[in-house]
Amino acid sequence: MDYVSALLPPVVMAVFFISVIRVIVKSQGGANKAKEDAAVDAALARAESARQSSPAAPGSTDA
């Protein structure tokens, strides 16, 4: 019976790890990918417009 108690924690951890990897792989692509890409594109556009609309700081080398 000692072997069961010795093997149980690694088996549980392996099952948990495999399930986490499956969730990560399944969440890539599909509708989620389109939504994530749109959110990233919007954030980048906001950051770029904020950078362009703010005046250059004195001493900066930006043209």
Read off the pLDDT of residues 1-31 as tens digits, 9 standing for 90 and up. Answer: 788 889 999 999 999 999 999 998 887 777 7
For residues 38, 43, 44 and 45, what is the CA-based torsion angle, rounded to 10 degrees? 90
| Dihedral, CA of residue 26, residue 27, residue 29 and residue 35, to nearest 10 | 160
Which range has the top average pLDDT, 16-20, 26-30, 39-43, 56-60? 16-20
pTM given for the model: 0.45
Least confident of 6-10, 39-43, 52-56: 52-56
Q: Is the pLDDT of residue 55 over 70?
A: no
